[in-house]
Structure 1
């Protein structure tokens, strides 16, 4: 009798600990049993998902609309059936983004799944920051590209013209040398401004082009979060086949390469089918290769070279600036790599990015 009373006391204490945890945690969490009945939720879940105490005891199917994520029931059933953790990004009724983790609640004695614990981590700010970074990277790279190609060339031509003018006889042109000097001084000042602008990224911490050892899967995760809204709206399925994951490269540049290609795969999807994107990485000779294949509308063979020209847009029925693929090619080419495309109208496209497969040790030796 005493042992029974002791066990009851222990159960009460455990229940109190659980209640205190659920009451005080700042993380939205739900406990759904094996019959899909909502048993508990934390106060943050009440606020974020507009749940009420009267919802406890209801089937999760009756409150699923609160999550703006219709497949949540299917995901819960999948975890109960397989006993495996499931992670996914979802958007809630207040238009915020969450990393949803569905963990199986396993009864140790019987080793069966008796429900799930669902945890939500707010990633709205991270997604917003990643999108803002991608926008800034695009604007920054475009500015540098414009300075490099659209301004430096005419300035060089102007410099040559000045040199020619210097050789013209000065007889009868008393003020000519003074005017020529002013033009030349102005040219020098403009060149100085351009040098300051192009060199600023070396000292600007936000845009510092520091090469480091990167894990491609982390880059892909950032890109996936940045494009979370587009992926959700299009229903795009992204599959990974990562044979090699490490590469030495500039983080923001690698992210920009992958972002632009995956974004295009979603934007230029075929209206008659769900977008499917396969991302592969592997080593080929001295190159680290990133292959991005889609089942989109495809590109005509006659347009394959045009797509990399700045401001050129083959399709005008979707939003775009015509600089994304241009910048991708610039980044790849400057790094000593290459980009290849295979595509046909109606059969999707495969973009293969070849980046020099350089280790940190090799990089150090080259600098030394």
Structure 2
């Protein structure tokens, strides 16, 4: 058995190791005990949250404003009482975003939580990048769709006109056939350009369409980060019931599908009701299904057939472009799947995406 002096020496050594860790880590971290007293913090926390050495030993209630996050004490209490890890995205007054992880500090012998360790990881750039990526994806799809649909129609009409001109007898117009041939040649070149931009290079231009084995939870995490401002502003509750986690699909396409459905669920919330979105996955008859349900304002039965049309906007009081659901349907249909919708006014809406399983 160790003598008392040996035990003290061991404790001093462990404390030195802990102090060394806290001094050298580059991530803002805090240790708060079970009585909600700040016991330690890393140097980066001193800079980010204006902490001073004199704050060590003070109650969190006295310095909570330093963190610019009103419910931090309630979150700490929850982790101490439940012993569960808590993760949240928080935004500071200087508009920076952080992933806040509150981990229970467990005392193994006594089997109780003796405090928490709070870690802050800045995710501002990740959120900005994800939001910009979603914007670019939408703009890219609109451009390709405009080329392949809107421009093809007048080109087809021009081709028919040329055919009609061929059948008109023209006397005394020796150059007419030559001019007609030039017009037709230009038409063919234009069609070739359109084809090159759409069908023949579709796999290159549409999202860099490379299928891979994806983890649905990871896709959902990206979407949740992208929508962090909306989630925080509305207090939206996002729940996942994942029965089938692995999905073979194009990462950016799947993220865009989930992003648009979850974004709409939050956007079209019923006034006075906290938005709640429940996502679930399963396998059904050779399809991976993704269900997105909300408790929002719902969609009238007469409007259900319109919501997937390009630029169609049912609710004029909510900001939008009318392309989100159109893009979702295009992505799903092009992959050999389909999407369904069920809705009740003032109760909510459920979209169900069917993605064909890879053999």
Alignment deviations for residues 206-246 of structure 1 (CA, whole Å, 9 cap, x no partner): 93101112121111111111101100100000111111122
Deviation at 1:179, TM superposition (A): 2.1
Q: Which residue matches 1:160?
A: 160
Q: Which residue matches 1:222?
A: 222
Task: Show structure 1 runs of 5+ residues with no match.
Answer: 363-368
> In 2, distance between residues paired with 1:303 and 1:51?
55
Deviation at 1:327, TM superposition (A): 0.8
Task: Show structure 2 runs of 5+ residues with no match.
Answer: none
> In 2, distance between residues paired with 1:201 and 1:45?
48
SS in 1 for 2:307: helix
Write out the 4+ residue segments of structure 1 that deviate beyond 4 Å after TM superposition.
none
Bigger shift: 326-335 or 187-196? 187-196
- Describe how 1:19-168 pairs up with structure 2 within 5 A: 19-168=19-168
Q: Which residue matches 1:333?
A: 333
Q: Which residue matches 2:203?
A: 202
> In 2, distance between residues paired with 1:177 and 1:61?
88
8 Å contact kept, 2:207–2:253: no
How many residues get paired? 357
> In 1, distance between residues paired with 2:322 and 2:149?
16
The yes-or-no answer on 1:309 pairing with 2:340 is no
8 Å contact kept, 1:48–1:94: no
The yes-or-no answer on 1:266 pairing with 2:266 is yes
Deviation at 1:108, TM superposition (A): 2.8
Bigger shift: 260-269 or 72-81? 72-81
Deviation at 1:201, TM superposition (A): 5.2
> In 2, distance between residues paired with 1:343 and 1:108?
50
- TM-score, length of structure 2 as denominator length: 0.94
Q: Which residue matches 2:300?
A: 300
> In 2, distance between residues paired with 1:65 and 1:353?
44
SS in 2 for 1:64: helix
Q: Which residue matches 2:238?
A: 238
> In 2, distance between residues paired with 1:187 and 1:35?
78
Bigger shift: 62-71 or 267-276? 62-71
Bigger shift: 4-13 or 325-334? 4-13
> In 1, distance between residues paired with 2:312 and 2:210?
30
Deviation at 1:154, TM superposition (A): 1.9
Bigger shift: 97-106 or 158-167? 158-167
Bigger shift: 339-348 or 104-113? 104-113
Bigger shift: 24-33 or 78-87? 78-87
8 Å contact kept, 2:106–2:114: yes
> In 1, distance between residues paired with 2:217 and 2:6?
51
8 Å contact kept, 1:102–1:117: yes
Deviation at 1:200, TM superposition (A): 4.6
SS in 2 for 1:297: coil
8 Å contact kept, 1:27–1:121: yes
Q: Which residue matches 1:366?
A: none
Alignment deviations for residues 105-140 of structure 1 (CA, whole Å, 9 cap, x no partner): 122332321111111111111111111111111111
> In 1, distance between residues paired with 2:173 and 2:65?
83
> In 2, distance between residues paired with 1:46 and 1:222?
29
8 Å contact kept, 1:238–1:278: yes
8 Å contact kept, 2:28–2:42: yes
Bigger shift: 224-233 or 39-48? 39-48
Alignment deviations for residues 89-113 of structure 1 (CA, whole Å, 9 cap, x no partner): 2222322111111111122332321
> In 1, distance between residues paired with 2:3 and 2:74?
42
8 Å contact kept, 2:89–2:97: yes
